[in-house]
């Protein structure tokens, strides 16, 4: 049995799933005594440093945790579970950490997108049982805006490069903690956790090691999910968002099975979009929660879920906040949620009144689960204009002229799955959402969706140049070369595709094979 410290802030489901996959029975710690009696303790942290320490203090966990850490029994901290071991963090000035490792937690000061999201390598600095069976060139999944800075090298287990070198894991004796998420790092992550669990394994140094390490461009498989006319939950796919063919909803497979296949093929992330949630009561959509629960048991890469994350009233008049809807998804195994329609309405409110006020679900969800957990899914459509100042929107000059020979266009945001155009452009939307606390942009493009014509590079460049958070390019991928194009002609951090993977025209493995030696990727 292994004890897991859950202070109630977020998704510990994936850590439990990973430990159970490795044959462990997991006991959730609910009191200080549970901590003191644990044989082995895993501490996955999410949210912010300040709220984490506040909750640990409120629950009287600090003294038992400190005493456990001093006892020499096995401890594994993940992400904030690593940061908690330090004296304090720039994220919450004046809030004391556990003070086990002398040093501070600092915000990244880099010219790159922050949060640092995605798969990066490790440079091993000391032997550890964690590395049994690893070559050393594996990549692990990171998602964080702050990194630890120990005062001395004695604790440093691994370092990673992102603009500069930072400490990505620590170990002293039986205390081990990683900034990356082994539970979300595919087979390499599971191997590392398995090595932690077996304390009899020898301390080793892997044979290979990248120097510097490089963040991989992510390949994401997207599953648009909805109920078809027979009442079955299916993966579907639209042409410019129209998912019906001969009157029927296209059925391209079952969500859990397809997600499992993409994991095995090497997808770096999987996204589920519940595409009709805007008109349903999201939490009545229990099959979607079930899909997440089942998928997260077998898929050990990050899962994003979108669709219906908004305030709503159910048929009994009960008010559900977007935060409560998101909480259900996190509890069921999501690592990130994505907000589509509601983000447009929130930004409209900000543009009208100067603030989001009570509508700001982006900020509220980010406040509890961290910015990295909030993705904004934008569904824009091109609108051509004759001159750059024809509209009060972010207009770009385009190399693909419009039907009347127009050389300018703007990207109009839509809601309800493209059904309704609004008076907001995609660049403004992305910028305002970043200010409100979003951690990533999923940039679809209705004109390119399902066309196999390649990504809309002009759209991606316009949005990417306007924000400092990562951008996922989406819509239009038709072959492996399109991924190369989007990664070399824009600065997008990730590329997402649906149709070509579902129709088995190109596999994720083939995309990665094509990109190998051209673009930094996580090898399959």
In the complex with ligand 1PR, which residue's Cβ is closer, 9 or 497?
497
* List 161, 194, 224, 493, catalytic entry: 224
Q: Is 314 a catalytic residue?
A: no
In the complex with ligand 1PR, which residue's Cβ is closer, 222 or 459?
222
Are the C-beta atoms of 145 and 108 separated by less than 8 Å?
Answer: yes
Helices (H), 300-372: 322-331, 341-353, 361-369
The rounded distance, in Å, linking the Cα atoms of 492 and 486 is 7
β partners of residue 410: 383
Strands 156-162 and 164-172: antiparallel
Under the binding rule (CB under 6 A), the answer on residue 307 touching ligand 1PR is: yes
In the complex with ligand 1PR, which residue's Cβ is closer, 224 or 268?
224
Tokens of 25: 């029975």
Q: Is 407 a catalytic residue?
A: no
Under the binding rule (CB under 6 A), the answer on residue 64 touching ligand 1PR is: no
Q: Is 224 a catalytic residue?
A: yes
DSSP-derived 3-state class of residue 52: helix
Q: Which stretch binds ligand 1PR (CB under 6 A): 59-67, 160-168, 197-205, 497-505?
A: 497-505
Q: Which residue is nearest to ligand 1PR (CB)?
A: 417
In the complex with ligand 1PR, which residue's Cβ is closer, 122 or 222?
222
Angle (nearest 5°) at CA 68 between 62 and 72? 145
Locus of tokens 């309704």: 420
Residue in 48, 97, 103, 238 binding ligand 1PR, rule: CB under 6 A: 238
Q: Is 379 a catalytic residue?
A: yes
In the complex with ligand 1PR, which residue's Cβ is closer, 202 or 242?
242
Cβ 214 to ligand 1PR shortest distance, Å: 26
Cβ neighbours of residue 512 closer than 8 Å, sequence gap 6 or more? 219, 266, 521, 522, 523, 524
Under the binding rule (CB under 6 A), the answer on residue 277 touching ligand 1PR is: yes
Q: Which stretch binds ligand 1PR (CB under 6 A): 81-89, 252-260, 337-345, 399-407?
A: 337-345
Between residue 388 and residue 447, which ones bind ligand 1PR under the rule CB under 6 A? 417, 444
Tokens of 13: 């489901």
Cβ 215 to ligand 1PR shortest distance, Å: 23
> How far, in whole angstroms, is CA 252 from its chain's centroid?
25
The rounded distance, in Å, linking the Cα atoms of 308 and 287 is 14
DSSP-derived 3-state class of residue 421: strand
* List 116, 144, 147, 181, catalytic entry: 181
Under the binding rule (CB under 6 A), the answer on residue 255 touching ligand 1PR is: no
Cβ 506 to ligand 1PR shortest distance, Å: 10
Under the binding rule (CB under 6 A), the answer on residue 275 touching ligand 1PR is: yes
Cβ neighbours of residue 358 closer than 8 Å, sequence gap 6 or more? none
First to last CA, the chain: 32
Are the C-beta atoms of 33 and 11 separated by less than 8 Å?
Answer: no
Residues recognised as catalytic? 79, 181, 183, 224, 379
- Where on the chain is the footprint of ligand 1PR (CB under 6 A)? 222, 224, 237-238, 241, 243, 273, 275, 277-278, 306-309, 338-342, 377, 379, 417, 444, 449-450, 474-477, 497-499
């Amino acid at each position: 049995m292994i004890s897991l410290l859950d202070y109630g802030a977020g998704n510990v489901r994936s850590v439990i799933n990973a430990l159970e996959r490795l044959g462990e029975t997991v006991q959730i710690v609910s009191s200080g005594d549970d901590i003191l009696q644990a044989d082995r303790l895993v501490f996955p942290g999410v949210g912010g440093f300040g709220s984490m320490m506040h909750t640990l203090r409120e629950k009287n966990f600090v003294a038992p945790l400190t005493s456990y850490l001093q006892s020499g029994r096995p401890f594994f901290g993940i992400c904030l579970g690593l940061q908690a071991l330090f004296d304090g963090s720039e994220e919450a000035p004046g809030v004391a950490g556990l003070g086990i490792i002398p040093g501070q937690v600092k915000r990244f000061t880099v010219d790159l997108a922050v949060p640092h999201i995605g798969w990066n390598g490790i440079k091993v600095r000391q032997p550890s049982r964690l590395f049994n069976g690893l070559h050393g060139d594996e990549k692990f999944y990171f998602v964080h805006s702050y990194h630890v800075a120990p005062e001395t090298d004695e604790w440093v287990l691994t370092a990673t490069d992102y603009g500069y070198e930072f400490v990505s894991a620590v170990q002293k004796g039986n205390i081990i903690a990683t900034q990356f998420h082994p539970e979300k790092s595919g087979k390499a992550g599971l191997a590392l956790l398995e090595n932690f669990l077996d304390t009899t394994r020898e301390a080793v140094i892997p044979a290979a090691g990248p120097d510097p390490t490089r963040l991989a461009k992510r390949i994401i498989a997207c599953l648009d999910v909805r109920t078809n006319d027979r009442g079955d939950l299916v993966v579907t796919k639209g042409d410019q968002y129209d998912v019906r063919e001969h009157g029927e909803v296209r059925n391209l497979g079952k969500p859990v099975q397809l997600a499992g296949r993409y994991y095995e093929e090497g997808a770096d992330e999987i996204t589920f979009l519940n595409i009709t949630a805007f008109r349903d009561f999201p939490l009545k959509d229990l099959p979607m929660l079930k899909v997440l629960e089942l998928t997260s048991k077998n898929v050990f890469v990050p899962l994003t879920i979108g669709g219906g994350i908004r305030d709503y009233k159910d048929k009994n008049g009960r008010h559900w906040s977007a935060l409560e809807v998101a909480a259900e998804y996190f509890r069921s195994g999501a690592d990130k949620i994505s907000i589509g329609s509601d983000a447009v309405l929130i930004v409209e409110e900000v543009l009208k009144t100067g603030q989001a006020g009570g509508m700001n679900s982006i900020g509220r969800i980010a406040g509890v689960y961290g910015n990295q957990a909030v993705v904004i899914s934008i569904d824009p459509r091109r609108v051509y204009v004759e001159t750059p100042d024809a509209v009060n929107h972010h207009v770009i000059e385009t190399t693909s002229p419009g039907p009347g020979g127009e050389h300018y266009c703007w990207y109009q945001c839509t809601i309800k799955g493209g059904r309704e155009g609004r008076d907001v452009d995609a660049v403004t939307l992305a910028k305002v959402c970043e200010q409100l606390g979003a951690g990533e942009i999923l940039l679809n493009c209705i004109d390119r969706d399902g066309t196999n014509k390649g990504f809309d590079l002009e759209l991606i460049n316009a949005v990417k140049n306007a924000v400092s958070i990562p951008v996922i390019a989406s819509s239009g991928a038709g072959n492996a070369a399109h991924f190369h194009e989007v990664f070399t002609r824009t600065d997008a951090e990730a590329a997402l595709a649906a149709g070509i993977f579902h129709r088995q025209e190109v596999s994720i493995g083939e995309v990665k094979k094509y990109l190998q030696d051209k673009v930094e990727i996580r090898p399959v």
